[in-house]
Homo-oligomer: A and B are copies of this chain.
């Protein structure tokens, strides 16, 4: 609140990009999936700690990261799926969870999620399989 730098960063808009319209709220996601709830709770708690540290460059990076997935030339849902592909082929479970949840909230279907993960599987190889297994568990909870 008393930190003008942080609000400055947050207020800086990206031209011609739009905040997405979510089909589901984070609360609805947490109600459907225990995996998603645990992930979001842990992420929120840890992010509060990062937030308090108030590192200027980290805040800018978070802002840039947020803007990357806003709808522009590409619809937001495909950008989230691209984030999922990147996360899966770089093998980051937290990032996979995040983009699976965001894609779900934007109305992406389960077959669409699976096809995106398949791109990561073929590009990234069998080393992606343990992450695919865990992603499928989250998909099963969300889409049941």
Chain A residues near B (Cβ < 8 Å) = 5, 14-15, 43, 46-47, 49-50, 52-53, 55-58, 60-62, 64-65, 67-69, 72-74, 78-79, 81-83, 85-87, 89-92, 94-95, 109, 111-112, 114-116, 118-130, 132-134, 136-137, 139-140
> How many angstroms from the CA of A89 to the CA of B14 in the assembled complex?
23
Q: Cβ of B50 and Cβ of A133 under 8 Å apart?
A: yes
- Complex CA gap A72/B110 in Å reads 12
Given contacts A82-B120, A124-B127, 7 further A-B contacts (CB under 8 A): A15-B56, A46-B137, A60-B67, A62-B129, A78-B78, A83-B119, A125-B125
A125 to B79 alpha-carbon distance, docked (Å): 16
User: Are A89 and B86 neighbours in the complex by a CB distance under 8 Å?
Assistant: yes
